[in-house]
Chain A
Amino acid sequence: QSALTQPASVSGSPGQSITISCTGTSSDVGSYNLVSWYQQHPGKVPKLIIYDVSQRPSGVSNRFSGSKSGNTASLTISGLQVEDEADYHCCSYASSNIWVFGGGTRLTVL
């Protein structure tokens, strides 16, 4: 049950697109389409932005999109806005009611 691997930080300018990767193994990300992403602003509670690899909850901007290839899931944010600056965490099911998170990625909007 090792943590999923995310880059520690990414950055982009307003209007640009960025992608955050989340690499697991064939026992978690590679085996289940149960990958979710959470946005967390400093001092705030994590907020669900993507579930089931690519589904957006009601109310979440369509600038956020998710995908998966093999053992790696990705979150893409298009049309970057200043308010997108936050930490992003991925999560995957890993069988037998076990879940695993990534280490988190700090997004800076320059």
Chain B
Amino acid sequence: QVHLLQSGAAVKNPGSSVKVSCKASGGTLSNYAFNWVRQAPGQGLEWMGGIIPIFGTPNHAQRFQGRVTISADESTSTVYMEVSNLRSEDTAVYYCATEGEGRFDPWGQGTPVTVSS
């Protein structure tokens, strides 16, 4: 089964950008749909978007259109998610997860992102 390893925690200033990576091992990147889900402190999970590397075109939740960029590098089996124009409300743990047959499994370990001046 594929294993997902995410990049480390980040602290960013409001208005800046953050790029989180998710490296897959133990499987072929092109066989999976990769999704990004975030969880603000004390809140539920929120689907942000996803990408199927063999197709290349990502999908985004409407509220993140224009501010979130999802990409994949098949040569390194790594998926990326960049959030621009960060605000305090973007403080959250960001997870990547593979989706197949209607289930999000497995998940990466999560990347805490703090937006603070």
Contact = CB atoms under 8 A, between A and B. Distances in A.
A1 interface: yes
Nearest to A33: B102
A87 B105 CA distance: 17
Interface string A79-98: 00000000101010100111
Contact of B45 (A1, A51, A91, A98): A91
Interface of B: 33, 35, 37, 43-47, 50, 52, 59, 61-63, 95, 99, 101-105, 107-110
Interface of A: 1, 3, 6, 33-36, 38, 45-46, 48, 51-52, 57, 87, 89, 91, 93, 96-104
B101 A1 contact: no
B110 A98 contact: no
Nearest to B103: A51
Contact of A97 (B37, B43, B50, B95): B50
Contacts, number: 67
Contacts of A6: 44
Contacts of B59: 96-98
A97 to B, nearest CB: 4
Given A34-B102, A45-B109, A97-B52, 7 more contacts: A45-B95, A48-B105, A52-B101, A52-B103, A57-B103, A91-B45, A91-B104
A46 B50 contact: no
A104 B45 contact: yes
A35 B101 CA distance: 11
A102 B46 CA distance: 8
